[in-house]
Amino acid sequence: MNNVRRRVGFRRTPARLQDWILKLGIRSLLKFMSAKSVEQFIRMLKESPSGAVFNPWWQVDKENDVGRNAPGIRRKQLRAYLRKRLDKARLVVIGEALGYRGGHFSGIPMTSERILLEKKKDAGIEPNDVFSGIAPRRTSKSQKCRDGFSEPTATIVWSTLLKLAPPPEQFVLWNAFPWHSFDPRAGLLSNRTPTQAERCAGISVLKAFLDLFPCDEFVALGRVAAEQLEELDVSAHYVRHPASGGAKLFREQIARVANKLI
């Protein structure tokens, strides 16, 4: 009887109000599904390869992290970053791998702690460009780097994209190899190119990421990213990596891609 009354009551509701209620329900459902897909993706990142690979979202860097809660902070920041761009991103930029000056401590690809700590305002980058709704935090010990780690590639990529007109939620950065590959002889505060076997281990994560963000344009930042995207039959613009003197060419090439979105 109660169910009948509810149905009859809904029929008596004005048509415009019914439409609004239905749309609200659909939006809530889509929002719930999107949030669930992000959580599933973050859990997928737990399965990182063994060896000289650091997983910032599920492992503690005992030498350099502020404490055991560091992976949780990085997961929270990654979650906020991804959710900000769900159903809005139009441009995907894929790099090679996380770096120790970037995602190792921020939890976000091509994003340094100094960006999150408002230390890159002079480059036109605000923490709110990366994510909103939570307070940004560093996870490295201040003794290791007083102002937080800074990554030149991160600064160049963010500052360039923000100047090219698309709002920050319309572009999303990720890596072909999602974790941090380091040199075992130099320790965790180092970078190295992931091996072929490691790249194979990361291909399923890259595919899941691309399923999460089906965008208009894809950019491969360097050779490794280009090869991984080709492996997945994704047509991407090859753009010069900004490191090692490539900043000028990177800016010119990425501008041509971004102009297609205007």
- The CATH number of the domain where 151 resides is what? 3.40.470.10
Q: Which percentage of the chain shows pLDDT scores above 70?
A: 86
pTM here is 0.86
Please compute Rg for the chain using Cα positions: 21
Q: Classify residue 12: in a domain, yes or no.
A: no
pLDDT at 20: 55
**Residue 192: domain span:** 45-261
Q: Classify residue 239: in a domain, yes or no.
A: yes
Contacts of 9 (CB under 8 A, 6+ apart): none
**What's the rounded Cα separation, in Å, for the pair 236 and 76?**
29
Contacts of 105 (CB under 8 A, 6+ apart): 56, 64, 65, 74, 112, 113, 138, 139, 140, 148, 149
Q: Classify residue 64: in a domain, yes or no.
A: yes
Q: Classify residue 18: in a domain, yes or no.
A: no
pLDDT band at 27 (very low <50, low <70, confident <90, very high): very low
Q: What is the mean pLDDT of the chain?
A: 89
Instruction: Indicate whether 39 pLDDT > 90.
Output: yes
**What's the rounded Cα separation, in Å, for the pair 44 and 55?**
12
Token pair recorded at residue 23? 């749309």
The structure tokens 């000056």 sit at 101
Bridge partners (DSSP) of residue 172 are 92
**What's the rounded Cα separation, in Å, for the pair 177 and 94?**
9
pLDDT in tens, 116-174: 999 999 999 999 999 999 999 999 999 999 999 999 999 999 999 999 977 999 999 99
| Tally of domains within the chain | 1
